[in-house]
Amino acid sequence: MAESILNSINSPVDLRQLPAEKLTQLAAELRRFIIEIVATKEGHLGASLGVVELTIALHYVFNTPKDLLVWDVGHQAYGHKILTGRRDVFHTNRQLHGISGFPKRSESEYDTFGVGHSSTAISAALGMAIASNLKGETEKQHIAVVGDASIASGMAFEGLNHAGVTKANLLIVLNDNAIGIDPSVGALKNYLTKARVGYRPRQANIIEALNFKYYGPVDGHDLEGLLKAFEALKKIKGPKFLHVITRKGKGLKKAEEDQVKYHAPGKFIPDTGELLPYETKDLSLKFQDVFGLTLVELAEKNENIIGITPAMPTGSSLKYMMDAFPERAFDVGIAEQHAVTLAAGMATRGFTVFCAIYSTFLQRAYDQVIHDVALQNLPVIFCLDRAGLVGEDGATHHGIFDIAYLRCIPNMIIFAPLDEVELRNMMFTVQQDVPAHPVVIRYPRGRGSRKEWQLPFETLEFGKAKCLKEGSEIAVLSLGSIGINVHKAIRELSKDSRIGHYDMRFAKPLDEELLHVIFKKYKKIITIEDGVIAGGFGSAVVEFAQKNGFFVPIEVLGIPDQFIDHGKVEELQEIANLSVESIVSCLTSQLD
């Protein structure tokens, strides 16, 4: 058996000692290594398999880390991590205290820029390149690797537009596999598809028109061709662009065939790619599916309903509506800002628009939420998926800021369902009797707590909470599905009659009528939310108490003022004192 080349590489310095003929074997080993680890430890698969040759070629030709290599999104950077000194810890990828699933500056000098959200690489690399010019480091190379879905985002265009009028020594590598998580969309995608098969416009192509030197397309799995292209590009000054064609999932048949599923497939058999069944007795549906299926159910009766997703049809389950009503459901690509203002535009014309966005990605569209929606009081319905701690994606993806960043905006209604039934009922309510305000419905990643979720719809009253259990001394006010942990904690305490539990449902408006009753009745209040403490739901309750002259002690549980890394949701909840056990000990200490 041939000796392992991969095992001999502890950094790109070792890689660059290899004769070029050895790189094909290295690519095979690297691909196999990624497959074996991801098969058991889980994570993003298809994107990294698709850039194995590209990763090797970049580190082989360029003098990393002196030359600066920036990955966009970073879910495709597993090969980069393995070749840059993290092979032996790669099995800890995305686990608590293990390495991050994305490039992270604190992890390695080869990770030049922290990522997780898309379309930042061009701006970041351009910033580095301009800085190098200012420092007189004119020989330094700056390379941004960006995907075909990510380059269609507004931010990437902003970077291209700027770069084209600079003398920055910037190479943009477009990794074009014609797919994001779901198939790429839009006019640029159509243009790139034509370019893949050799179409050359009679005048400058889009990229050349922006003042870049354009090269390609080249086959991203042909190591020899890539080495040649990079060697040539190294000598060319200024902004330049290499169009590389790759195949997502390359090297694992099933991953190539079903690229959507194998974006992040969960556990599978490494040799065949066959997926292993999800290990759970929990038969509840995912919140995203309750959202997606309920939207179809409602849209069947209400022709006014529109659905919008920025590039997450599968992740948000808007795909159900896209299949059922293609003319009323839109995947707009990685374009959160556009998605929000598009929804606002449709709302001005009387449509009931459900804009499904992951909580963390709505951060991109903050001004659009304020300026285009809230200021005009347009009744857009934001369905914020992945709210709260999301687990293994970590700090870049936790949806923990939304309550705080949305609560301060006038006109907003912010609702968080305890369970799937409340989610459905709120969706039913907002489309039946469209409020004169924007509405946010935030719900978590993963499965709910109800097996029977498809109950007959009920109308919910805006700004009204629900008492789940009366008590006499301590009132726990929970917002959203974290209330299930409170419920379990109270059950562990044998439903102690001193503890009351309220499902507050709305962070805005608060149920002030009920709060008056609670503050008069109880000796102590505990608020709990799966969002940041600063400015969140608990802060709203504290503001209420101050405004109304209540001096009952209030303990606010939520995410402390720090970024939370990756790990299982339960582990992270433990760290943030939001787990069932933490709530039990909090309640026990208050009752003693």
Ligand X SMILES: CC(=O)[C@@H](O)[C@H](O)COP(=O)(O)O
Ligand Y SMILES: Cc1ncc(C[n+]2csc(CCOP(=O)(O)OP(=O)(O)O)c2C)c(N)n1
Residues 178-207 as x/- pattern, contact with ligand X by CB under 6 A: ---x--------------------------
- From 248, 250, 505, 508, active-site residue: 248
Please tell me the total number of residues recorded for the chain in this structure. Answer: 592
Q: Check the annotation: does 150 bind a ligand.
A: yes
Q: What residues between 67 and 96 interact with ligand Y by CB under 6 A?
A: 73, 75-76
Our finding on whether 75 is near ligand X (CB under 6 A) is yes
Residues 524-563 as x/- pattern, contact with ligand X by CB under 6 A: ----------------------------------------
Nearer to Mg ion, 260 or 375 (CB): 260
Nearer to ligand Y, 316 or 582 (CB): 316
Which pair of tokens denotes residue 440?
Answer: 């946010």
Q: What residues between 425 and 444 interact with Mg ion by CB under 5 A?
A: none
Whole-angstrom Cα distance, residue 378 to residue 183? Answer: 31
Our finding on whether 180 is near ligand Y (CB under 6 A) is yes
Which residue's C-beta sits nearest to ligand X?
315
- Other beta carbons within 10 angstroms of residue 154's beta carbon come to 16
Q: Check the annotation: does 132 bind a ligand.
A: no
Our finding on whether 243 is near ligand Y (CB under 6 A) is no
Which residues are CB-contacts of 194 (< 8 A; sequence separation ≥ 6)?
none
Our finding on whether 357 is near ligand X (CB under 6 A) is no
3-class secondary structure, 99: coil
* 452 classed as catalytic: no
**Torsion, CA 387, CA 393, CA 396, CA 400, rounded to 10:** 20
Whole-angstrom Cα distance, residue 257 to residue 273? Answer: 11
Our finding on whether 177 is near Mg ion (CB under 5 A) is yes
**Secondary structure element (H or E) that encloses residue 321, with its range:** helix 319-324
Which residues are CB-contacts of 352 (< 8 A; sequence separation ≥ 6)?
302, 304, 305, 306, 379, 381, 430, 431, 434
CA distances in angstroms from 293 to 21, 311, 319, 380, listed in the order given: 53, 18, 9, 19
Nearer to Mg ion, 243 or 442 (CB): 243
**Secondary structure element (H or E) that encloses residue 499, with its range:** strand 499-503
Q: Check the annotation: does 336 bind a ligand.
A: yes
Q: What residues between 116 and 155 interact with Mg ion by CB under 5 A?
A: 147-149
Nearer to ligand X, 147 or 438 (CB): 147
Nearer to ligand Y, 244 or 460 (CB): 244
Which pair of tokens denotes residue 438?
Answer: 């924007």
Nearer to ligand Y, 113 or 506 (CB): 113
Q: Which of 360, 399, 366, 364 is nearest to 154 (CA)?
A: 364
Binding residues with ligand X: total (CB under 6 A): 10
Nearer to ligand Y, 249 or 483 (CB): 249
Which residues are CB-contacts of 270 (< 8 A; sequence separation ≥ 6)?
32, 35, 36, 39, 40
- From 53, 336, 422, 529, active-site residue: 336
Whole-angstrom Cα distance, residue 277 to residue 288? Answer: 19
Our finding on whether 317 is near ligand Y (CB under 6 A) is no
Nearer to ligand X, 251 or 315 (CB): 315
Q: Using CB under 6 A, which of 247, 407, 424, 445 touches ligand X?
A: 445
Q: Using CB under 6 A, which of 31, 386, 424, 505 touches ligand X?
A: 386
Which residues are CB-contacts of 459 (< 8 A; sequence separation ≥ 6)?
425, 428, 429, 432, 433
Q: Which of 554, 492, 557, 490 is nearest to 518 (CA)?
A: 554
Q: Check the annotation: does 219 bind a ligand.
A: no
Provide, rounded to whole angstroms, the least separation between the CB of residue 283 and ligand Y.
28
Q: Check the annotation: does 473 bind a ligand.
A: no
Provide, rounded to whole angstroms, the least separation between the CB of residue 431 and ligand X.
25
Among the residue ranges 96-104, 171-179, 374-382, 435-443, the one whose residues contact ligand Y (CB under 6 A) = 171-179
Which pair of tokens denotes residue 493?
Answer: 């305490």
H helix intervals, 135-186: 154-163
Whole-angstrom Cα distance, residue 196 to residue 536? Answer: 48
* 364 classed as catalytic: yes
Under 8 Å between Cβ of 407 and 471: no
Q: Using CB under 6 A, which of 248, 437, 501, 566 touches ligand Y?
A: 248
Q: Using CB under 6 A, which of 336, 393, 419, 420 touches ligand X?
A: 393
Nearer to ligand X, 141 or 337 (CB): 337
Q: Check the annotation: does 284 bind a ligand.
A: no
Our finding on whether 487 is near ligand X (CB under 6 A) is no
Under 8 Å between Cβ of 536 and 407: yes
Q: Check the annotation: does 385 bind a ligand.
A: no
Q: Using CB under 6 A, which of 55, 112, 132, 177 touches ligand Y?
A: 177
Q: What is the largest CA-CA distance in the chain?
A: 81
**From the list Mg ion, ligand X, ligand Y, none, partner contacted by residue 507 (C-beta under 5 to 8 A by kind):** none
Provide, rounded to whole angstroms, the least separation between the CB of residue 462 and Mg ion.
41
H helix intervals, 387-526: 402-407, 420-432, 483-492, 512-521
Whole-angstrom Cα distance, residue 244 to residue 174? Answer: 6
Under 8 Å between Cβ of 402 and 442: yes
φ and ψ of 485, to 5 deg: -65, -40
Q: What residues between 197 and 216 interact with Mg ion by CB under 5 A?
A: none
Our finding on whether 386 is near ligand Y (CB under 6 A) is no
* 512 classed as catalytic: no
Q: What residues between 323 and 382 interact with ligand Y by CB under 6 A?
A: 334, 361, 364
Provide, rounded to whole angstroms, the least separation between the CB of residue 445 and ligand X.
5
3-class secondary structure, 563: coil
CA distances in angstroms from 522 to 1, 188, 349, 550, listed in the order given: 73, 60, 47, 11
Whole-angstrom Cα distance, residue 176 to residue 192? Answer: 8
Nearer to ligand X, 129 or 156 (CB): 156
Q: Using CB under 6 A, which of 160, 264, 306, 515 touches ligand X?
A: 264
The residue assigned the tokens 């929990």 is 282
Annotated binding residues, written as ranges, equal 75, 116-118, 148-150, 177, 336
Positions at the binding site for thiamine diphosphate: 75, 116-118, 149-150, 177, 336
Positions in the binding site for Mg ion (CB under 5 A): 147-149, 177, 179
Provide the annotated binding site for Mg(2+): 148, 177
Hey, which residues are catalytic here?
248, 336, 364
By CB under 6 A, name the binding residues for ligand X.
44, 73, 75, 181, 264, 315, 386, 390, 393, 445
Which residues contact ligand Y by CB under 6 A? 47, 73, 75-76, 117-118, 147-150, 175, 177, 179-181, 248, 311, 334, 361, 364
